[in-house]
Amino acid sequence: MQYVAATAFSLVLLVLFANLLVDLYARAAVRDALDEGARAAAIVGGGPRECEERARAVVSQLVRGSAGRDIDIECVEPGNGFVRARARVRLRAWLPGVPDWTFTVTALGREEPT
């Protein structure tokens, strides 16, 4: 009986650790996608639309499946040649009783001078 309990506990810890690694990967992928979107908007004539398109394309390539469903990306142009990319992310936990991880990531890009 002790062996079964220890094995079950070990498997739960393994799943929690794997969930943490996948979440950290997804966070890094979203951060990279926002940077890529901000770079796309920095091109002369680029703007929020190019930023959102590029960021969504990168996220869809890097974060697939259920992990990529709750990623909301928006880009705005606050002025002075800047573009701000923001992603609101919710990564669902794999086990019941474990809270989901929600966070916001922001990237800022400036239009290249002509």
Q: Using one digit for the tens of pLDDT, what is the confidence trace for 61-111?
A: 999 888 888 999 999 988 787 889 999 999 999 999 999 999 999 999 887
pLDDT number for residue 81: 79
3-state secondary structure the chain: CHHHHHHHHHHHHHHHHHHHHHHHHHHHHHHHHHHHHHHHHHCCCCCHHHHHHHHHHHHHHHCCHHHHCCEEEEEEEEECCEEEEEEEEEECCCCCCCCCEEEEEEEEEECCCC
> pTM to 2 decimals?
0.86
